[in-house]
């Protein structure tokens, strides 16, 4: 089942998705991951440090999956639409759980710079992803905002309807 560190992170993903950040305690993570308390603290000083590690791993996983999913698409319009298809794929795979980063953002205090900076970095990288694809900052920001709102709406309504509508909008925005 993996190293204690891997079990802790995997358990964290499951519990944060099911219960949220604030309702998940370190003792529950230790118990569900089947690790010793000393083992937990050997890897993480605090729940906050664990959250940062979880988000960093999630960031890497999410972008790897996005790049893999969109790699066969040819042309700018096709790549952008493929990115929205990736959201549909992730919604199916993860049962409309939404964005791990935004879910945690809604639970942390505004002054938690340690976690906030990781969330901001993820969103900046996503915005840059579209900026590099499109090379038109106004258009890329428009696509980025469609993408972000599609994530939230699909989580809220457990539906891909607005992702599909966003894809239609994109065919009109990008020749």
Instruction: List pLDDT tens digits, range 132-164.
Output: 999 899 999 999 999 999 999 999 999 999 999
For the chain, give every domain's residue range: 1-44, 45-173
Query: Rounded to an integer, what distance in angstroms lies between the CA atom of residue 125 and that of residue 112?
Result: 20
Other residues' Cβ atoms within 10 Å of the Cβ of residue 168: 10
45-173 has CATH 1.10.357.10 classification: yes
1-44 has CATH 3.30.710.10 classification: no
Task: Report the pLDDT value the prediction gives residue 1, as an integer from 0 to 100.
Answer: 67
Query: Rounded to an integer, what distance in angstroms lies between the CA atom of residue 158 and that of residue 99?
Result: 13
Averaged confidence pLDDT in the chain? 95
Other residues' Cβ atoms within 10 Å of the Cβ of residue 58: 20
- The answer to whether residue 173 scores a pLDDT higher than 80 is yes
Q: What is the pTM of this model?
A: 0.93
Task: Report the pLDDT value the prediction gives residue 135, as an integer from 0 to 100.
Answer: 86
Q: Is 98 left (phi over 0), alpha (psi -120 to 50) or beta?
A: left
Per residue in 37-64, pLDDT (tens digit) is 999 999 999 999 999 999 999 999 999 9
Per residue in 9-34, pLDDT (tens digit) is 999 999 999 999 999 999 999 999 99
């Amino acid at each position: 089942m993996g190293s204690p560190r891997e079990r802790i992170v995997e358990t964290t993903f499951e519990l944060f998705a099911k219960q949220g950040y604030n309702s998940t305690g370190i003792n529950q993570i230790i118990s569900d991951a089947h690790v010793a308390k000393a083992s937990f603290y050997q890897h993480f000083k605090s729940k906050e440090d664990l959250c940062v590690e979880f988000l960093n791993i999630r960031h890497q996983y999410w972008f790897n999956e996005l790049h893999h999913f969109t790699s066969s698409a040819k042309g700018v319009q096709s790549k952008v639409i493929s990115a929205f298809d990736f959201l549909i794929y992730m919604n199916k795979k993860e049962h409309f759980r939404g964005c791990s980063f935004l879910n945690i953002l809604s639970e942390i205090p505004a002054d938690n710079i340690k976690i906030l900076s990781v969330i901001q970095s993820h969103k900046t990288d996503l915005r840059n992803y579209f900026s590099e694809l499109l090379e038109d900052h106004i258009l890329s920001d428009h696509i980025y905002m469609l993408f972000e709102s599609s994530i939230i709406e699909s989580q809220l309504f457990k539906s891909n309807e607005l992702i599909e509508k966003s894809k239609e909008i994109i065919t009109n925005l990008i020749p």
